[in-house]
Amino acid sequence: MASQVFYRKWRPQLLAEVVGQEHVTRTLLNALGRERISHAYLFCGPRGTGKTSTARALAKAVNCLTSGKGEPCNECAMCRDITEGRALDVIEIDAASNRGIDDIRDLREKVNYAPNQARYKVYIIDEVHMLSKDASNALLKTLEEPPPHVIFVLATTEAHKLLPTILSRCQRFDFHRHTQANMVKELSRVSEKEGIGIEPEALKLIARAATGSLRDALNLLQQLTTYYGKEVNLSQVQSLLGISGDQRARELARHIVSRDVAAGVATINNVNSDGLDLRQFHRELVEYLRLLLLFKTGSGDAVELTPDDARELKELASRTSLPQVLRAVKLFGQLELGLDNYSTLPLELAMVECTLPESEVKTLVKEEPARAGPEPAARRSAPRAAPPPRAEKPAPPPEAAKTTEPEPPAAAPEVAGEPVPVTAEEPALATTGKAPPAIKSTTVSPLQAGSEIEQLRLNWRRFIMEAPGGFGRTPAAALLRSAVPKEIQEDTLVLSFRYPLHKENMEKIENQKTAEKIVSGFLGRSCRVRCVYEPENNHLVKAAMRMGAQPINGEEP
């Protein structure tokens, strides 16, 4: 006999053997016992949950020569024919391949013929949502007035795509995803029957990777035995699934809790250099952070874990705060690893951002909105008043211009919106009418530049996020958020980076052009960007520079 794949070899042959769908099988058994069989059933649910297997078991139950009012005997000629796929009166149709109106018209013609051997002709139409609109309307007429010897079983994974008129003419049964416990139990049974020695933890990992589909889980089990033989351990399952194991994800979670940026970035790069799938590693990390969040909120009993894993998560939860865990889950959970070559940059940026000190978080997140009201007006007025044409309009009287020329130092601070105290000159400015505002907008540039850098520092993250043209969502914007505006030198903004990798990525041509567009849009004039590397702990270098030392390579520390 030719070998069969596990999911076909161990397909349920009785309604009671269908795993995890007792709400469906119990209803069908009650209907069989009371001889209340419907002419049309709709089985809907995720893949691999037993829809087609239940339909075949139902076809055997209604046509069994021995019983016909309950479970099939699986021994009579009709049961054996249906099991082996030789029964002429049980017709399976793949609607994905036979979705046209001509196919359904052909079905309608054959429906009227009496069964060859069985009591009922059973039509099992799989993926019925794939039928075209015309084909669905043609099927509808048959469902409205079916012959008494026909039973339709429609199976679909997307019931919402069916016509409401079709839904209303069927008895609907929703199949649920299999629980991990049910899948492990079934995998253990199949492993025992097949003589496979496999660790319980490996079975749990297979069940978790199958995401509720028993068919996928059985396929994985057979693939493992084909490659490794009859003895399978946990490390082999991890290797086949491309999973790095929980150790790397746990290690990075510990670095996040301890705010160890250097160790966290090193772990990310080690995972990448070892050739592991960054997307799979990212999923493992988010899942582990989710477990940490559950334990921190006191909901750890909602998940099934080994005592060692639960103990480790409790210990880790005791070392952190709920806001920190919540922030880490949000930052890593919203990542999209869509860059070319599986770049580690998104993971590194999230690592740096979620480990910032609380003082910096409050400064960047809470204080910026507080200053958002008065500053935009000052910021808008400064660039608009700076060009010479506007400065000339209020200064046609030569006398007013002459009287205000000696006072630029006192007028400049007010243009930037900074409340700098002015001594004896302030009353004089108040009595000069409208001439001083005109001269204020065209005063000395160093003071104006100083106000711009102050505005950049205080509102840096908000300006990046609100950048027009969608620039606030680009990789360059993510890099800018990790930088600090240092100073403005004529038409160049100097940005300081703590980590050399971020500086190198920002200096790429595309990122630098995008950064220059964002900065120029804020300043109201064309501005270039220059990057410098400043390590976090540089107090010795700063002390040396105060004593007269000069930096090397033309960059400040």
The closest of 402, 409, 398 to 440, measured between CA atoms, is 409
Q: C-alpha angle with apex 240: 238 to 243, nearest 5 degrees?
A: 40
In sequence order, the 6+-apart residues with CB closer than 8 A to the CB of 315 are none
Lowest mean pLDDT among 115-129, 201-215, 452-466, 481-495: 452-466
> What percent of the chain shows pLDDT beyond 90?
25
- Taking residues 388-416, report their average pLDDT: 42
Indicate the domain borders of the chain. Answer: 6-174, 180-241, 246-355, 374-444, 459-546
pLDDT number for residue 421: 43
Q: Tell me how far CA of residue 268 lies from CA of 9, 251, 292, 351, 521, in angstroms.
A: 43, 10, 19, 9, 35
482/40 Cα distance (integer angstroms): 61
Q: Cα torsion at 135, 141, 145, 146 (round to 10°)?
A: -10
H or E stretch at 492: strand 492-497
pLDDT at 95 over 80: yes
Phi, psi of 529, rounded to the nearest 5 degrees:
-125, 130
196/190 Cα distance (integer angstroms): 8
325/355 Cα distance (integer angstroms): 11
Judge whether 303 and 294 are in contact, CB under 8 Å.
yes
Task: Name the pLDDT band for 289 (thresholds 50, 70, 90).
Answer: very high
pTM over the 0.85 mark: no
Q: pLDDT tens for residues 425-451? A: 443 434 444 444 433 333 333 334 446
In sequence order, the 6+-apart residues with CB closer than 8 A to the CB of 469 are 517
Task: Name the pLDDT band for 397 (thresholds 50, 70, 90).
Answer: very low
401/94 Cα distance (integer angstroms): 88
H or E stretch at 153: strand 150-156
CB crowding 298-324: b at 16 or more within 10 Å, else e = eebeeeeeeeeebebbeebbeebeeeb
134/217 Cα distance (integer angstroms): 37
Phi, psi of 340, rounded to the nearest 5 degrees:
-65, 150
Residue 432 carries which DSSP code? S
Q: Which sign does the torsion angle of CA 182, 188, 194, 197 carry?
A: positive
Q: Which sign does the torsion angle of CA 507, 508, 509, 515 carry?
A: negative
Q: pLDDT tens for residues 351-367? A: 988 887 665 555 555 54
pLDDT number for residue 455: 76
pLDDT at 327 over 70: yes
Residue type, 192: E
Q: Supply the Cα-derived Rg of the chain in whole angstroms.
A: 36
Residue 178 carries which DSSP code? P
Instruction: List the CATH code of the domain at 246-355.
Output: 1.20.272.10
475/349 Cα distance (integer angstroms): 10
The closest of 387, 383, 395 to 434, measured between CA atoms, is 395
Q: List the structure tokens of 5.
A: 């794949």
pLDDT number for residue 446: 35
Q: Which three-class secondary structure state does DSSP give residue 89?
A: coil
* Answer CATH for 459-546 from 1.10.630.10, 3.30.300.180, 3.30.420.40, 3.80.10.10: 3.30.300.180
Q: pLDDT tens for residues 448-467? A: 444 677 777 888 887 787 77
Judge whether 428 and 439 are in contact, CB under 8 Å.
no
Q: List the structure tokens of 144.
A: 């409205």
Residue range 180-241 forms a domain whose CATH class is: mainly alpha
Task: Name the pLDDT band for 244 (thresholds 50, 70, 90).
Answer: low
Q: pLDDT tens for residues 139-192? A: 888 888 888 899 999 999 999 999 999 999 999 999 999 988 899 999 999 999
- Residue given tokens 């997140």 in the structure block: 365
Domain 6-174, classified CATH 3.30.360.10, yes or no: no
Q: What is the total residue count of the chain?
A: 557
pLDDT number for residue 406: 42
pLDDT at 308 over 90: no
DSSP codes of every residue in 355-403: TS-HHHHHHHHTHHHHTTTHHHHHHHHHHHHSSHHHHHTT--SHHHHHH
The closest of 405, 407, 416 to 383, measured between CA atoms, is 416
Task: Name the pLDDT band for 51 (thresholds 50, 70, 90).
Answer: very high
Strands 483-489 and 492-497: antiparallel
pLDDT number for residue 45: 92
238/333 Cα distance (integer angstroms): 23
How many of the other CB atoms lie within 10 Å of CB of 473? 11
pLDDT number for residue 551: 59
Strand extents, DSSP E, 322-465: none
71/69 Cα distance (integer angstroms): 7
Q: C-alpha angle with apex 268: 265 to 269, nearest 5 degrees?
A: 90
Write out 204-224 in H/E/C secondary structure. HHHHHHCCCCHHHHHHHHHHH
Q: List the structure tokens of 68.
A: 């016909």
190/232 Cα distance (integer angstroms): 14
70/58 Cα distance (integer angstroms): 9
H or E stretch at 162: none
